[in-house]
Structure 1
C-alpha cells in the first residue's frame, strides 16, 4: 500500500525540510509519495522535484479547499500540518488557524466514496504553548510563562491560544485518526516564505551591516545575552514528525522538539560575526537603539544588495521579522524545553546548534537568498 503524505505549508521552513526527509529512501516508512500544498505557486528557488504533486489553494476558503483536495482526498494517509497564520489578536489567530485545519480535515475525512485513508495528523506548534500569546499587544505584561525547562505535561495557561485549538481539533478525530503534536522552539531553516524566519532575519541584518559598514549590534537585552536559549533545526523537526507518524506508542502524544543543546546569545553573536565577516560588538546596555525603526529605512539598501549579487528577488519586509525577533531577544527568562519525554518514547535525534547555523547560512547562500 502506498503511503502518501500531504504537507500543508510545503514552501515554509518546516515544509521544505519535511519534503526532503520524506523523499530520503532511508526515512522510516519509505517509500513515501509526497504531495505539497501552499497558498501560492512554487517560487523559483523551490525544488519541485521534492514533491510528486504541488497543489495551490487557500485553506481559509472551504470552497477552494474542497475543490483542490477532493481530487486527492482518497489517497492521503498522513497529513503534516506546518502552516501559520498570525495576526495581532489571538482570537483572530484561533479563528484563522483552526478554520484552515478544519477545512482540510473535513475534505480528507469525508471523501465522496467514504473510503478515507487518512490515518495520522502530525501537528507543528511551538513553545508559545507554555508562554501564552506573546505577540498579542492586548495581553502585554499579563503573561507569566511556566518555569523552565518547559515540559509537555504542564497544564494549559488561562489565555487564548490557537495552538490549544489546533490540538483539540486534531484530537476530535480520535480514535479513527491518530495525531501527534510537535512543540518547536525558534525554528532554524531556509525559506524566504516563513513568517518567523529568525536566522534569515539575522542574516539580512548582518549583511546590511557589512554592506554599509555599520556595527553589528545586538538588539536584545542583557538577560538573553547572558542566559540559555534553545532552537529547533527544521531537519530535526521533520525527523521527529515522521518518527511519530510511524511509531505506535508515539500516537496521540505531544512532544517538545529542540536541538537538545543550549547556547547563550553572546556566543551565537560571535559565530554570526565570523560567518558574515563583521566585527563582533560586545553588548553594551548604554547603547540603546531600535532595530525595528532602523530596518524600516533599509528596504532600498536590501534592493541594492539583491541586485548587486544577483539574488532571488525578495523584499526586506517580506523575509524578515524584526518585531518578533526583538521581542524574543528581550525575554526575561531562559527559553529552554525538556527533551526527556521524547527520549523516553524512543526519539533520540539531536543537532549541534552552532554547526546547524553554519549549515543553514550556507543553504541560504546556495539558494541565492543571501549573498
Structure 2
C-alpha cells in the first residue's frame, strides 16, 4: 500500500516508537517510497529495540517525561525536525490509578505536541492520535459501557478517562496550530515488540512454548464465556496502514474512526489454529460448570513455570529478556473477558477503507517474526 504523494515529500515523526503500534507504523512507513516519505523520525525512551534497516530512520532515545520541551526540541533539531509533516502518537505509560494515568499520559502527549509545534509549526499537515476501546468503557464492565457495536460519537462514561483528555487535547492543538488531526480507536492490538506493556501475542507464544516443552496440551487459560465471546482484534500493521491512509487524505481530516481487522474473532475459532501452528494435537477444552472459572490463572501458572522457560531459552539460545517482554496480568485479563467487545467499522468503510484482515494470519505472522527475533524457539 502506498499513500498519495504530495508535491513535496513528507516527513513522519513516530512517538512511542518501540511499542507494538510504533513498530507497526515504522514498518508501514518503510513500505512507502522515498518520494512519499523521505525521513522517519522515531522517538522512544529506550534505544531502538528491533533491528530495522532503512536509511530514512533517525532514532531519538529520550525520556519524554523527564525531559523538558526544549530538551526534546534540541534532539529534533539534530534530526532536521523542522521538516516534520506528519506526527503519529503512540507513547503510553500504564498506571493503576486512573487519575495518575490521566496525568502522565496527558503530559506525554502535551510535550510531544509542544515540541512539534515549536520546531515544525506550520509545516505540520496532520497529527494522528491512537486511543482505543477504553473510550467506550470496556475496562469498566457492561454497566459503564457504551451500546454495542460501538460508534465513534457514543456518549462518554462518567469519571476520568485519559483517552478523553488526550482526544480533547489533540483537537485543541490542531485548531490552535491550524493542523489537521485524525483519531483512531483500535481494540486488542496484535503485533511484536520487546517489553511493550500490552503484548498479548508474545505472551501467548511463550505460554505455548512452555506447554510444548512440558508435553502438555495447549489449554485455553480462560473461562468458557471468554472462549465464545466476540472480541475485536486490531492488528498493528492494519492499524498503521489505516492511520497513514487517514493522515494523508484530505477527506478524512479531523475525523475519528474505529479500526479493527473486520472479521468476527472468537478464541474458540483461533485456538485450533494456534494448536496447529505450534504443533499440538487438538485438545478438547474442559471448562468448569461455573462458566466464569478459568482453566488456569495465567500469571500464576507462568511464574510457577519460569524455570521451564529458562531451560528453553538456554537450549535454543533465545533472547534472555524474552520472559519479561510478556505481560501476564494483561493477558490473563484478555483471556477472561466475559462479554462481547465489538466496534462498528461503518464509518471507516464509508470513507473508503475496504481492507479486512484474517486475524489468525496476523497472529501467525507475529509468531514467525518472534522466531526470527529469537524470542521463541
TM-score by length of 2: 0.89
Determine helix, strand or coil for the equivalent of 1:49: coil
Alpha-carbon distance in 2 for matches of 1:251, 1:93:
28
1:137 match: none
Determine helix, strand or coil for the equivalent of 2:12: strand
Note if contact 1:206-1:278 (Cα within 8 Å) is conserved in structure 2: no
- What is the number of equivalent residue pairs in this alignment? 360
2:62 match: 57
1:171 match: 171
1:39 match: 45
Note if contact 2:222-2:296 (Cα within 8 Å) is conserved in structure 1: no
Note if contact 2:262-2:345 (Cα within 8 Å) is conserved in structure 1: yes
Note if contact 2:219-2:295 (Cα within 8 Å) is conserved in structure 1: no
TM-aligned CA distance change 1:32 to 1:352, over 3 Å: farther
Give CA-to-partner distance per residue, 1:266-322, whole Å, 9 cap, x none.
Answer: 121111111112243333232743221111223333222222112223142x21122
Alpha-carbon distance in 1 for matches of 2:95, 2:55:
30
1:152 match: 152
Note if contact 1:230-1:259 (Cα within 8 Å) is conserved in structure 2: yes
Deviation, structure 1 residue 172: 0.6
1:100 match: 108
Note if contact 1:36-1:51 (Cα within 8 Å) is conserved in structure 2: no
Structure 2 residue corresponding to 1:221, chosen from 220, 223, 231: 223
Deviation, structure 1 residue 96: 1.0
Alpha-carbon distance in 2 for matches of 1:245, 1:192:
27
1:212 match: 214
1:85 match: 93
TM-aligned CA distance change 1:363 to 1:141, over 3 Å: closer
Determine helix, strand or coil for the equivalent of 2:82: coil
Alpha-carbon distance in 2 for matches of 1:277, 1:50:
39
Give CA-to-partner distance per residue, 1:202-254, whole Å, 9 cap, x none.
Answer: 11101011112233221222112122222011111111111111111211111
Alpha-carbon distance in 1 for matches of 2:72, 2:109:
10
Structure 1 residue corresponding to 2:315, chosen from 280, 287, 308: 308
Give CA-to-partner distance per residue, 1:312-364, whole Å, 9 cap, x none.
Answer: 23142x21122112222222221111110001111222211122222221121
51-60 or 277-286: bigger deviation:
277-286
Alpha-carbon distance in 2 for matches of 1:129, 1:177:
23
Determine helix, strand or coil for the equivalent of 1:232: strand
Alpha-carbon distance in 2 for matches of 1:258, 1:325:
19
Structure 1 residue corresponding to 2:190, chosen from 188, 191, 197: 188
TM-score by length of 1: 0.90
Alpha-carbon distance in 2 for matches of 1:344, 1:78:
24
Determine helix, strand or coil for the equivalent of 2:131: strand
78-87 or 279-288: bigger deviation:
279-288
Deviation, structure 1 residue 119: 2.3
Deviation, structure 1 residue 26: 5.9
TM-aligned CA distance change 1:357 to 1:70, over 3 Å: same
Note if contact 1:73-1:107 (Cα within 8 Å) is conserved in structure 2: no
1:262 match: 264
TM-aligned CA distance change 1:237 to 1:223, over 3 Å: same
Determine helix, strand or coil for the equivalent of 1:37: strand
TM-aligned CA distance change 1:51 to 1:307, over 3 Å: farther
CA-based RMSD of the aligned residues comes to 2.1
Alpha-carbon distance in 1 for matches of 2:338, 2:39:
44
